[in-house]
Amino acid sequence: MIEYVPFGLFIKSKKNFMKIAKHTVPSVTYTLVVNGEVVDMAEKEKPLSFIHGIGMMVSGFESNLEGLTAGAKYEFMLSPEDAYGPYSAEAVVDLPVSTFMVDGKVNKDMLNIGQIVPMKDQNGNPLNGTVLEVSEEAVKIDFNHMLAGKELNFTGEILEVRQATREEIEHGHIHGPGGHEH
């Protein structure tokens, strides 16, 4: 913001002119609409802040914000390919009920239709699955992201853009308000 003062121009803050680019930290509001329904939002009181360009957000979201500055309003639609990918039938699997045994007993509290179940893949990476069906022998789990195959419609505003610190880049997340505290 530039403000006229009696002795000339005074630039209050350089971050107001900073553009969103790799290794900047934008703080944004957004409303996410899928199939005409609001599914998520971040408001001015608790904005979304992230390190741009390191894969924290889906690529289409980042590319649509690239080059914007504080005060800019945005509106865009992401195809599934630019967001969480197409829905994959191969990501729906039947697992033996024994997969859900804890201390020799099936943990039936985990097996409610629609429930998100935290699991790990064969390499130990965490992933979430949604319970679709439960029988005596098997549990049908959908490992697609809940927004896979969907068009995502975003509207929002850029509240602030600042440079990420070296420590934030090294750690892969922001620190301080809206971020991780060590």
Return the minimum-mean-pLDDT range out of 4-8, 65-69, 130-134.
4-8
In this structure, the answer to whether residues 74 and 48 fall within a common structural domain is yes
For residue range 7-60, list pLDDT tens digits in order. Answer: 444 445 544 589 999 999 999 999 999 999 999 999 999 999 999 999 999 999
3-state secondary structure of 124: coil
76 lies in some domain: yes
Query: Where does residue 19 rank: exposed (0-12), middle (13-18), buried (19+ CB within 10 A)?
Result: middle
Same domain? 41 vs 122: no
| Together in a domain, 80 and 159 | yes
Beta strands in 13-112 (DSSP E): 24-34, 37-42, 48-49, 73-78, 92-96, 101-102, 105-106
> What per-residue confidence (pLDDT) applies to 177?
58
Q: pLDDT grade, residue 139 (50/70/90)?
A: very high
Q: Report whether pLDDT(2) > 90.
A: no
Report if residue 6 sits inside a domain. no
CATH of the domain at 122: 2.40.10.330
Total of domains in the chain: 2
CA distance 141 to 138: 9
Burial of 114 (0-12, 13-18, 19+ CB in 10 A): exposed
In-domain check, residue 128:
yes
Q: What is the mean pLDDT of residues 101-115?
A: 87
Say what the pLDDT of residue 178 is.
54
Q: Summarize pLDDT for 71-86 with one digit per residue, the tens.
A: 999 999 999 999 999 9
Q: Is 181 inside a domain boundary?
A: no
**Does some domain include residue 1?**
no
Residues 26 and 69 in one domain: yes
Q: Tell me, yes or no, whether 23 and 77 share the same domain.
A: yes
Q: Are residues 41 and 103 in the same domain?
A: no
Domain that holds residue 122: 89-142
Calculate the average pLDDT of the chain: 89
Same domain assignment for residues 80 and 93: no
What confidence score (pLDDT) does residue 15 get? 46
Query: Can you tell me the mean pLDDT for 91-108?
Result: 89
Contacts of 157 (CB under 8 A, 6+ apart): 28, 29, 71, 72, 73, 74
In a domain, 177, yes or no: no
Neighbours of 49 (CB within 10 A): 20
Are both 123 and 65 inside the same structural domain?
no
Please classify residue 50 by burial: count the beta carbons closer than 10 Å to its beta carbon, then call 0-12 exposed, 13-18 middle and 19+ buried.
buried
Q: What is the CATH number of the domain that holds 57?
A: 3.10.50.40
Residue 101: predicted pLDDT: 85
